[in-house]
């Protein structure tokens, strides 16, 4: 599993440009699904099984990134805008990678004690792509943050664990199911989640599921003075109750909790007031879809050092496999 996590997290794929990640996932799932297709927006949709209940499982392929918008005429430095939610206080000195492999470093004009503390606006930053002969990156070129994956005991540290780790959970569940499920399950690897759940909505309309399940990261409440949330690294799969875009129906919550308890899978309950997942988009398809989310606790989201615990990842795989191995009736 570590090799798969490394392959996916180090892949290049900001929102709207997920094609490299999609190709890697297609190679992984080619023999694990009964049908594989790509819809008009770029979502990769894999059907496993045939049954009375349609279950849609969504994990997004995209990651936050940057878009070069202007080249300063004298210096060649690039001005940029955001692709998804950036944290300005983490930008200075970070490395970014463009699709052609060009590496840039984010600089900050007029560095002071004040703006070192995160008070800078996005317009104060630039990307240095000079190789001594000037850079070749043009406006309209997207980039992602760049850093290799590291492993520290049971902890994985990488960029884009949001939400490549959800993709890993989906792939490993497909592997464990081995095409054996009494349901009709659609694993949707979605696009453009970070810019507004844009892939999940049309994917759900196309699938028209009876039940939706998103796979995504969630905040960890075990950092110093962090948000007061109950989830912790190493304490198991997080079963969502509520977030800013989704109130999980009690029947969906109970379905997940009962499965976890029946299989002896460690779990915790997730309640957050900010942020949401693809489940918020799925629930609004057609006349409505009861939807929930299985989350992986994560420290330092939307940075190059997102951190998850492999025991939590395995718990999520085991929980999702258990849910899909049995007939789904809410």
pLDDT band at 11 (very low <50, low <70, confident <90, very high): very high
User: In terms of domains, do 214 and 271 share one?
Assistant: yes
**What CATH code is carried by the domain that includes residue 106?**
2.40.30.40
Distance between CA 66 and CA 162 in Å, rounded?
16
- Of residues 63, 193, 270, 306, which has the active-site annotation? 193
Count of domains observed in the chain: 2
Distance between CA 200 and CA 72 in Å, rounded?
37
Distance of CA 23 to the CA centre of its chain: 16
User: In terms of domains, do 113 and 206 share one?
Assistant: no
Q: What is the length of the chain?
A: 330
SS3 string, the chain, reads CHHHHHHHHCCCCECCCCHHHHHHHHHHHCCCCCEEEECCCCCEEEEECCCCCEEEEEEECCECEEEEEEECCCCCCEEEEEECCCCHHHCCCCEEEECCCCEEEEEECCCCHHHHHHHCCHHHEEEECCCCCCCCCCCCCEEEECCCCEEECCEEEECCHHHHHHHHHHHHHHHHHCCCCCCEEEEEEECCCCCCCCCHHHHHHHHCCCEEEEEEEEECCCCCCCCCCCCCCCCCEEEEEECCCCECCHHHHHHHHHHHHHHCCCEEEEECCCCCCCHHHHCCCCCCCCEEEEEEEEECCCCCCEEEEHHHHHHHHHHHHHHHHCCCCC
Boundary residue ending a domain (120, 145, 170): 145
Amino acid 109: pLDDT? 87
Answer whether residue 154 is part of any domain: no
Answer whether residue 300 is part of any domain: yes
What would the pLDDT profile of 87-141 be if each residue is shown by its tens digit?
A: 998 999 999 999 999 999 999 987 665 555 556 789 999 999 988 665 689 999 9
User: In terms of domains, do 59 and 70 share one?
Assistant: no
pLDDT band at 54 (very low <50, low <70, confident <90, very high): very high
Distance between CA 80 and CA 127 in Å, rounded?
8
Q: Which of 252, 242, 245, 238 is nearest to 296 (CA)?
A: 238
Beta bridge partners of 101: none
Q: Mean pLDDT over residues 293-317, rounded?
A: 97
**Per-residue pLDDT for 23 more than 60?**
yes
Residue pair 294/256 in contact by the 8 Å Cβ criterion: yes
User: In terms of domains, do 29 and 175 share one?
Assistant: yes
Q: Is 80 exposed, middle or buried (0-12, 13-18, 19+ CB in 10 A)?
A: buried
The Cα angle at residue 321 between residues 264 and 158, in degrees rounded to 5: 95
User: In terms of domains, do 214 and 267 share one?
Assistant: yes
**Per-residue pLDDT for 329 more than 90?**
no
Q: Mean pLDDT over residues 78-92, rounded?
A: 95
**What CATH code is carried by the domain that includes residue 223?**
3.40.630.10
What would the pLDDT profile of 210-241 be if each residue is shown by its tens digit?
A: 999 999 999 998 888 777 889 999 999 999 99
Residue pair 56/184 in contact by the 8 Å Cβ criterion: no
12 is written with which tokens? 């290049």
User: In terms of domains, do 45 and 104 share one?
Assistant: no
Range of the domain at 110: 65-145
Mean per-residue pLDDT of the chain: 94
User: In terms of domains, do 253 and 183 share one?
Assistant: yes
To the nearest whole percent, how much of the chain has pLDDT over 70?
Answer: 96
Amino acid 27: pLDDT? 98
R_g over Cα of the chain = 20
What would the pLDDT profile of 171-206 be if each residue is shown by its tens digit?
A: 999 999 999 999 999 999 999 999 999 999 999 999
Higher-scoring residue by pLDDT: 44, 226: 44
Amino acid 90: pLDDT? 92
Answer whether residue 38 is part of any domain: yes
Answer whether residue 151 is part of any domain: no
Amino acid 118: pLDDT? 58
Amino acid 223: pLDDT? 84
Boundary residue ending a domain (94, 117, 145): 145
193 flagged as catalytic: yes
User: In terms of domains, do 291 and 216 share one?
Assistant: yes
Distance between CA 113 and CA 238 in Å, rounded?
39
């Amino acid at each position: 599993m570590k090799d798969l996590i490394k392959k996916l997290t180090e892949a290049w794929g900001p929102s709207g440009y997920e094609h490299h990640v999609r190709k890697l996932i297609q190679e992984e799932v080619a023999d694990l699904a009964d049908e594989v297709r790509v819809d008009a927006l770029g979502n990769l949709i894999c059907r496993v099984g045939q049954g009375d209940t349609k279950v849609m499982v969504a994990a997004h392929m995209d990651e936050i990134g940057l878009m070069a918008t202007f080249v300063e005429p004298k210096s060649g430095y690039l001005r940029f805008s955001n692709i998804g939610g950036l944290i300005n206080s983490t930008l200075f000195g970070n490395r970014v990678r463009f699709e052609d492999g060009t590496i840039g470093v984010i600089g900050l004009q007029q560095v002071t004690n004040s703006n070192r503390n995160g008070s800078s606006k996005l317009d104060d930053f630039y990307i240095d792509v000079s190789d001594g002969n000037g850079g070749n990156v043009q406006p309209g070129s997207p980039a992602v943050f760049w850093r290799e994956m590291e492993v520290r005991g049971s902890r994985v540290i990488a960029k884009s664990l949001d939400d490549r780790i959800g993709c890993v959970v989906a792939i490993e569940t497909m592997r464990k199911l081995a095409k054996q499920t009494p349901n009709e399950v659609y694993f949707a690897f979605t696009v453009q989640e970070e810019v507004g759940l844009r892939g999940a909505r049309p994917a759900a309309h196309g699938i028209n599921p009876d039940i939706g399940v998103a796979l995504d990261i969630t905040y960890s409440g075990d950092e110093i003075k962090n948000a007061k949330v109950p989830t912790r690294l190493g304490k198991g799969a997080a079963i969502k109750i509520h977030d800013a875009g989704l109130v999980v129906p009690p029947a969906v919550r109970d379905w997940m909790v009962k499965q976890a308890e029946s299989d002896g899978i460690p779990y915790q309950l997730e309640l957050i007031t900010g942020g949401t997942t693809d489940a918020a988009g799925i629930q609004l398809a057609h006349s409505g879809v009861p939807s929930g989310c299985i989350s992986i606790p994560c420290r330092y989201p939307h940075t190059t050092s997102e951190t998850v615990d492999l025991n939590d990842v395995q718990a999520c795989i085991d929980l999702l496999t258990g849910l899909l191995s049995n007939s789904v009736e809410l």
